[in-house]
Amino acid sequence: MKAEIIAVGSELLTPDRMDTNSLFLTEELNKLGIEVVRKSIVGDNRDYLSAAFKEALERVELVIASGGLGPTEDDLTRETVAELLGRKLHRNEAILRYIEGRFRHLGREMPAVNVRQAMVPEGAEILENPRGSAPGLWIEDAGRFLALLPGPPRELKPMYQEQVLPRLQRRSSSIRMFHGNCASRAWENRASSSALNPFTRVTRT
């Protein structure tokens, strides 16, 4: 499996902020045997974001994005991906109650703008975020996988370890099993051919 990482946020295109999330994700994906073939940083622009996701999904099976899931108007990841995949956004009441509860715990009333964080594309799986107000999203589409994660590393890293990693492990093991079975059948076929032709030398690869 090949993957691309998209870091979202205009602040990452300044000299004041470094994209450390991509380094973490690359290391973790490599541990699973998933090759990261491209990383990109995209500012808070809907057209640029849409193009980045579209091109990535045409190249690889797995796209992991960080950032752009906040409540403000320039947090565009959720809406951009939903539009690109042709999926409607629906308000998830459970997420909304969770966000409201976080604000109550802080002694504050939830601003109306935070309702945006409770909008979920059709068919998406919610990645819970007990460390922040922005839930992540796991989306499967035509054999491709997207993981949309929050930007703050203290939220992204545990969300990846606790919720994205198990999903990838299940799929990676299936891929390894498939290739292993193919290799086994190929070896058996070569061995069978060798038995029919004693002058054929079989070299196992």
pLDDT at residue 191 in the model: 45
**What pLDDT is stored for residue 194 in this prediction?**
43
pTM for this structure?
0.83
| pLDDT value at residue 120 | 97
Q: Which domain holds residue 111?
A: 2-164
Is 32 part of any domain?
Answer: yes
Looking at residue 179, what is its pLDDT?
43
Distance in angstroms (rounded) separating the CA atoms of residues 21 and 7: 8
CA distance 126 to 69: 13
For the CA atoms of the chain, what is the radius of gyration?
A: 21
* pLDDT at residue 172, as a whole number: 72
51 contacts: CB under 8 Å, gap ≥ 6: none
Q: Is residue 182 part of a domain?
A: no
Domain for residue 123, yes or no?
yes
Q: How many domains does the chain have?
A: 1
126, two tokens: 């919610």
| 21-63 pLDDT tens trace | 999 999 999 999 999 999 999 999 999 999 999 999 999 999 9
Q: What is the pLDDT at residue 198? A: 38
Q: Exposed, middle or buried by CB within 10 Å (0-12, 13-18, 19+), for 9? A: buried
Is residue 103 included in any domain, yes or no?
yes
Instruction: Report pLDDT for 171.
Output: 84
CATH number at residue 29: 3.40.980.10
The ranges of the chain with pLDDT < 70 are: 173-205
Residue 116 in domain = yes
pLDDT at 80: 98
Q: Does any domain span residue 74?
A: yes
Cβ-contact 6, 56 below 8 angstroms: yes
Inside any domain, residue 172: no
Report pLDDT for 12. 97
